A and B are shown apart, each in its own frame.
Chain A
Amino acid sequence: MAVGVLIALGESLSPGTYTDVRFTWLHLPAPPPGHPGAFPNGFSLVMGTLVDPLSALMLVVVTVVGFLVMLYSIEYMRKERGLPRYYAELSLFLAAMNGLVLADNLLEFFLFWELVGLCSYFLIGFHYERPAAASAAKEAFLVTRVGDVMFLLGIFLYFAVYGAKGPGLGWAASGFLFVQGNHAFLAGVPAGNPTLLTVAGIMILGGAAGKSAQFPLDVWLPDAMEGPTTVSALIHAATMVAAGVYLLAVTSVFLGFTAFDSLLIVALGGITTFFAATMAVVQPDIKRVIAYSTISQLGYMVLAVGAGFTMVGLYHLFTHAFFKALLFLAAGAVIHAVGTQDLFRMGGLRKRMPLTAAAFAIGGLALAGIPPFAGFWSKDDLLAGVYSTLGSHPAYWPFFLLAFATVFLTGYYIFRAWFLAFSGEPRDPSLHAGHEGPWEMTVPLVILSALAVVAGLFVYLPGFQALLLHGGGVAGIPPVYGTTQLLLSAVGVSLAGGGILVAWALWGSGRIVPTPSAAPAAGMRRVLLARYGIKSAYDWLGATGVYTVARAADFFDRFVIDGAVHGFERAFGDLSERMRRIQTGLVSDYASYVVGGLLVVAALLLVVAPYLVGRFGGG
């Protein structure tokens, strides 16, 4: 942690781009003359490190949250079996994430990206003896794999477009680096084929959508709640899902997106933000409420990156990491204390766990975007930034409105969870009485609470501001708050506050509100609980669709292809039986065979061979 923070401090004191240690991982030398290939100057894949404002910001997030989660794990995981495995996987997870953040080229990025995915597979399936955990791990791996394959194609496309370009021997020969010296390698390189670039951007977006659980590849993240709560905190705050947003940020800074790609990213972010928030509204499971809120908040970050406010998106990632880790660890403390994740069985925990209740409330206020908590500053900047682009990009309007409406839903769903868990009286006497955890659990909560309060204010520190402003030359924080922005903030805060008030009105007493029996409301609730049917559609596709095709192919393989082989074998047996019979021993028979054979040979030589030669352009 210390190292990460130190690097970030150094970066904030003197923003710039630093690269170090690089070694050639795989090198294909230039082919000799006369053998043109796709990469005439050869081809290198390298491993190196790169520190710039983007990675510095991410380093802080990964190392600080990672450290606090480790500390918290000591108590939370104390009674589990397989702890060496747990800590090894957790460490590898953090190492892979740091590697990804420090990568200096796309291939290295991809390598660590896959390792991050592997570690989340391991950790989601930590309780592998539980079928639900094994299934969730599989789902996470396969859904993100779809994104990974798209990312890989995106890499190929960028290699193809820019491989031969760039100064010196070209981008391919020097290892596809993001930067050379202190400049983006491709700065000043004329843009390549616009169609290919657009497709490449879409593919990168697909990869990011898989990792960051954007619509429609979001199904794995709520199911990933099968992992230990500490793992959820890490995945949701600092590793895994952050990687997708970071990929978009890095791509937008070093490679750039076309206008169409930007619109697509904005659309995806806006839709995901709203869509995930609606599903959070009805969830009975405390961890799933927070999981959907993560998807929703990631949508905000994607939206910002798409609209061109890369550093603002990362700024939201930064503040989000702290309050989201806080929410998860507070939820973990509750689960640890009462032994259930079902909100409807909790209630009244405020009195027994005051510190946890306060921590969850701080996290909730930060998430909802109430000043002066962290989420307010970044979300406000983000929405103001997107708003400022609406003049030049009217197509962004619907997605901006979706994102804006989500502010209300956010306030509602997170405080619905708070009231259900902490206010009123305990609803299920069979649960253990709640109690606060020991210091290993409370200290991270306190630290994260403090960060969730002040992280947004970091923007007024000159060093941090410089970091945000120098993020690869893209627009940073809107520097002055004009009337429009102030109005926007006021509306946003009132929306969030309104959401909280509605939650208080409905759930503040701690009593269960019966679901309205009116058809539209009940139907809506069913659709939301069924996650719009997307999960079932995927399950059907995998279990029924693909598996049926595979079974059919297997049948074909065994009975048609191998059947033909056996048929051939039998036919050959029959043939030899008949051949045996023509061995009559009569000279006249043999003479007729000889003549017949000669005729066939002559026909082949005189008719068939010239025809073939003529047909295939002989010589």
Chain B
Amino acid sequence: MLPLVPIVLASLLAGTVATFLAGRWARWVALATSAVFLAEVGGMFLSYSGWPGYNAQSVPGFAESVSYPWIRLPWMQVNFTVGVDGISLVLILLTAILQIATVVYSWKETKNPAAYFGLVSLTCLGSFGVFVALDVLLFFLFWEAVLVPMFFLIGVWRGPRRRYAALKFFVYTHVASIVMLVGLLATVFYSGATSLDFSAVAAAAPGLSPVVQTFLFLALFFGFAVKFPIVPFHTWLPDAHVEAPTGGSVLLAGLLLKLGGYGLIRWAVEVLPAGFLHDRPIVFAAAFVSIAWGSVVSLAQRDLKRMVAFSSINHMGIVLLAIGLDSSLGLLAAVLLMFAHGIVSALLFMSAGTVHHTFGTRDIPAIGGITPATPALATMIMAGALASLGLPALIGFPAEFTALLATWNGLGYLVLLPLGILVVTAAFYIWMMQRMLFGPPRGVPLGIHDVPWWEGVGMGLLVAVTVLFGILPGLLVNVITSSPVKGFPGT
């Protein structure tokens, strides 16, 4: 069998290096890289989703898993182990879609394009690595590898306070990474595993005493939760989004937040089950606070990007809640919601970027009635907002529906909080549309153009994905439920 995952990794790596070196051809190289990546991942995805028969096809265990000896120590075996299961495959598909959409959207980037497109590719490469790594050291290397390009993407390109935001992002996530690394290594050493492989750690660690697991889980949880982010460790997110260029925001919201969710599912919940059960009250508290806080604070935002950033905190709070439920339905919902939020928040950040360079501001009260002048842009904003507030036939609905149903099954009437917050979420999007898109034109300069073609293609791709999986969520569900995670039949 072909070692598919290393091949994809190698093609992505080669493409990234070539992009950095390609000078003025960088965008073409980046486009080719992302197209190849999408084709590889798309093919893998379609073969597992059972298309076109549209029946669940169970691929037990980690498909495409390969392992090469890497570092040999007398007391520890470190392998280069990579593999995918349904959960990671869905998130890899998200990575590939966002990469190509970002590259196309940023087609006319003029400020140091080789570095820009190279960093975009590198971020996606790092995320891909995190999703396929099945070894503690490899996982951590990729995890850190994502931070560096994102630091530069935030800190070099756009906003006036970009250095502050980039530093804040880096300190926050790096401190969290260190806590996570300590937690992971402590798990390995306490459990007596002789290999850093995921399978070895996941086999040995559940044997640890629940007390030890409780503390280890807390360390891992903190490490992953800052990435979500949860309240009150979230203030880096809005600042980073406001200062980042559009492509940076797209990858930050679409991919980086998902790393936290994926890490929690794979490396904390599965590895330390007893600790997880013990710490669930903390998980739920963090989730509920984030859900409510993110949505309510969104309502008060004037900057479109800040508003979307806080809505991300709300949505990722629902992801955390669904993970905390510890049921197969909850896990399914969490992964669906991560995919949905990745696509939809990317769409919203792209439209916010277009608003910014079309009207010179993202201040919601400053512009109004833009629909007659820029109908395509208004349509994109509306599609993103409606998908984000969970309208059926768009990808957000199946995700939120399953998440809330799982919450009802797990926590009973506590579901009233996220359900009630749905009204607030609808309110801030609908109110934003009323102010920005409708009414008499305000702050609309003469002679402006609607969405340029490259941005339109980038956003249009995301809208298409939103509609496709909104109508056929079963494609994603079949892949997710084939994962070897407890509760799924693929176990």
What is the interface of chain A, defined by CB distance below 8 A to chain B? 23-32, 35, 37-39, 43, 107, 110-112, 114-115, 118, 125, 128-131, 133-135, 137-138, 141-142, 145-146, 149, 152-153, 156-157, 159-160, 542, 546-547, 549-551, 553-554, 557, 561-562, 564-565, 612-613, 616-619
**Chain A residues whose CB sits within 8 angstroms of the CB of B422 once the complex forms:** 145, 149, 152
Contact check, B300 vs A553: say whether CB atoms are below 8 A apart. yes
How far, in angstroms, from A551 to B301 measured CA to CA in the complex? 8
Task: Check: B486 CB closer than 8 A to any chain A CB.
Answer: yes
Nearest B residue to A42, CB-CB: B489
Contact check, A152 vs B404: say whether CB atoms are below 8 A apart. yes
Task: Check: B277 CB closer than 8 A to any chain A CB.
Answer: no
Task: Check: B67 CB closer than 8 A to any chain A CB.
Answer: no
Besides A134-B434, A160-B409, 17 new A-B residue pairs in contact (Cβ under 8 A), listed by A number = A31-B488, A38-B409, A115-B391, A115-B393, A118-B391, A129-B372, A129-B438, A137-B438, A145-B422, A152-B419, A153-B415, A157-B408, A546-B427, A547-B300, A549-B296, A550-B298, A616-B210
Contact check, A37 vs B329: say whether CB atoms are below 8 A apart. yes
Contact check, A27 vs B56: say whether CB atoms are below 8 A apart. yes
**Chain B residues whose CB sits within 8 angstroms of the CB of A153 once the complex forms:** 408, 415-416, 419
Which listed residue (A557, A616, A618) contacts B235, Cβ 8 A? A557
How far, in angstroms, from A43 to B487 measured CA to CA in the complex? 13
Tell me if A's interface is mostly helix, strand, loop or mixed. Answer: helix
A320 smallest CB distance to B (angstroms): 28
Known: A156-B404, A156-B408, A613-B211. A134 touches B393 (CB 8 A): no
Nearest B residue to A38, CB-CB: B409
Q: Considering residues A28, A35, A145, A146, which has the most beta carbons from chain B within 10 angstroms of its beta carbon? A: A28
4 nearest CB pairs, A to B: A134-B438, A38-B409, A550-B299, A554-B300
Contact check, B372 vs A554: say whether CB atoms are below 8 A apart. no
Contact check, B214 vs A554: say whether CB atoms are below 8 A apart. no
**Chain B residues whose CB sits within 8 angstroms of the CB of A35 once the complex forms:** 328, 486-487, 491
Contact check, A118 vs B386: say whether CB atoms are below 8 A apart. yes
**Chain B residues whose CB sits within 8 angstroms of the CB of A547 once the complex forms:** 299-300
B382 smallest CB distance to A (angstroms): 9
A555 smallest CB distance to B (angstroms): 8
What is the interface of chain B, defined by CB distance below 8 A to chain A? 54, 56, 168, 209-211, 214, 231-232, 234-235, 293, 296-301, 327-329, 332, 369, 371-372, 386, 391-393, 397-398, 401-402, 404-406, 408-410, 415-416, 419-420, 422-424, 426-427, 430-431, 433-434, 437-441, 472-474, 477-478, 481, 486-489, 491
How far, in angstroms, from A152 to B415 measured CA to CA in the complex? 11
Nearest A residue to B425, CB-CB: A145
Known: A118-B386, A128-B437, A613-B211. A26 touches B473 (CB 8 A): yes
Known: A135-B434, A160-B409, A553-B293. A542 touches B427 (CB 8 A): yes
Contact check, A138 vs B296: say whether CB atoms are below 8 A apart. no
**Chain B residues whose CB sits within 8 angstroms of the CB of A25 once the complex forms:** 398, 472-474
A185 smallest CB distance to B (angstroms): 19
How far, in angstroms, from A517 to B467 measured CA to CA in the complex? 59
A197 smallest CB distance to B (angstroms): 15
How far, in angstroms, from A58 to B473 measured CA to CA in the complex? 29
Which listed residue (B296, B329, B431, B433) contacts A553, Cβ 8 A? B296
Q: Considering residues B430, B437, B486, which has the most beta carbons from chain A within 10 angstroms of its beta carbon? A: B430
Contact check, B474 vs A26: say whether CB atoms are below 8 A apart. yes
Known: A28-B481, A549-B296. A111 touches B209 (CB 8 A): no
How far, in angstroms, from A24 to B426 measured CA to CA in the complex? 28
Query: Would you mind naming 13 contact pairs between A and B with Cβ atoms under 8 Å apart?
Result: A25-B473, A27-B474, A28-B328, A28-B332, A32-B491, A43-B329, A131-B439, A142-B426, A149-B419, A152-B401, A153-B415, A546-B427, A554-B301
Which listed residue (A37, A565, A619) contacts B487, Cβ 8 A? A37
Contact check, B327 vs A37: say whether CB atoms are below 8 A apart. yes
Known: A28-B329, A39-B329, A547-B300. A149 touches B209 (CB 8 A): no
Nearest B residue to A39, CB-CB: B329
B172 smallest CB distance to A (angstroms): 9
Nearest A residue to B491, CB-CB: A32
Tell me if B's interface is mostly helix, strand, loop or mixed. Answer: helix
**Chain B residues whose CB sits within 8 angstroms of the CB of A612 once the complex forms:** 211
**Chain B residues whose CB sits within 8 angstroms of the CB of A129 once the complex forms:** 369, 371-372, 438-441
How far, in angstroms, from A142 to B474 measured CA to CA in the complex? 29
Contact check, B481 vs A29: say whether CB atoms are below 8 A apart. yes
Which listed residue (A26, A554, A613, A617) contacts B402, Cβ 8 A? A26
B209 smallest CB distance to A (angstroms): 5
B243 smallest CB distance to A (angstroms): 14
Contact check, B297 vs A550: say whether CB atoms are below 8 A apart. yes
Which listed residue (B299, B426, B486) contacts A546, Cβ 8 A? B299
How far, in angstroms, from A37 to B234 measured CA to CA in the complex? 33
**Chain A residues whose CB sits within 8 angstroms of the CB of B426 once the complex forms:** 141-142, 145
Contact check, A37 vs B328: say whether CB atoms are below 8 A apart. yes
How far, in angstroms, from A146 to B234 measured CA to CA in the complex? 29
How far, in angstroms, from A565 to B164 measured CA to CA in the complex? 13
How far, in angstroms, from A550 to B425 measured CA to CA in the complex? 12
Contact check, A145 vs B481: say whether CB atoms are below 8 A apart. no
Q: Considering residues A39, A157, A564, which has the most beta carbons from chain B within 10 angstroms of its beta carbon? A: A39
Which listed residue (B211, B293, B434, B488) contacts A138, Cβ 8 A? B434
B84 smallest CB distance to A (angstroms): 20
B237 smallest CB distance to A (angstroms): 11
How far, in angstroms, from A156 to B329 measured CA to CA in the complex? 13
Contact check, B489 vs A29: say whether CB atoms are below 8 A apart. yes
**Chain B residues whose CB sits within 8 angstroms of the CB of A160 once the complex forms:** 408-409
How far, in angstroms, from A616 to B218 measured CA to CA in the complex? 14
Contact check, A553 vs B409: say whether CB atoms are below 8 A apart. no
Nearest B residue to A114, CB-CB: B392
Known: A35-B328, A152-B404, A619-B211. A554 touches B297 (CB 8 A): yes
How far, in angstroms, from A206 to B347 measured CA to CA in the complex? 33
**Chain A residues whose CB sits within 8 angstroms of the CB of B300 once the complex forms:** 547, 550-551, 553-554
B91 smallest CB distance to A (angstroms): 19
Known: A129-B439, A612-B211. A114 touches B391 (CB 8 A): yes
Contact check, A24 vs B437: say whether CB atoms are below 8 A apart. no
Contact check, B209 vs A619: say whether CB atoms are below 8 A apart. yes
Contact check, B405 vs A159: say whether CB atoms are below 8 A apart. yes
**Chain A residues whose CB sits within 8 angstroms of the CB of B481 once the complex forms:** 28-29
**Chain A residues whose CB sits within 8 angstroms of the CB of B416 once the complex forms:** 153
Nearest A residue to B398, CB-CB: A26
How far, in angstroms, from A69 to B107 measured CA to CA in the complex? 46
A135 smallest CB distance to B (angstroms): 7
How far, in angstroms, from A550 to B329 measured CA to CA in the complex? 32
**Chain B residues whose CB sits within 8 angstroms of the CB of A114 once the complex forms:** 391-392, 397
Which listed residue (B168, B211, B437, B491) contacts A618, Cβ 8 A? B211
Contact check, B214 vs A31: say whether CB atoms are below 8 A apart. no
How far, in angstroms, from A38 to B409 measured CA to CA in the complex? 6
**Chain B residues whose CB sits within 8 angstroms of the CB of A561 once the complex forms:** 231-232, 234-235
How far, in angstroms, from A562 to B369 measured CA to CA in the complex? 34
Q: Considering residues B423, B438, B487, which has the most beta carbons from chain A within 10 angstroms of its beta carbon? A: B438
Q: Considering residues B231, B437, B477, B486, which has the most beta carbons from chain A within 10 angstroms of its beta carbon? A: B477
**Chain B residues whose CB sits within 8 angstroms of the CB of A142 once the complex forms:** 423, 426-427, 430
B275 smallest CB distance to A (angstroms): 11
Which listed residue (A43, A146, A616) contacts B211, Cβ 8 A? A616
A259 smallest CB distance to B (angstroms): 23
**Chain A residues whose CB sits within 8 angstroms of the CB of B440 once the complex forms:** 129, 131
How far, in angstroms, from A431 to B288 measured CA to CA in the complex? 58
B225 smallest CB distance to A (angstroms): 15
How far, in angstroms, from A145 to B327 measured CA to CA in the complex? 28
Contact check, B56 vs A29: say whether CB atoms are below 8 A apart. yes
A306 smallest CB distance to B (angstroms): 25
Contact check, B430 vs A31: say whether CB atoms are below 8 A apart. no
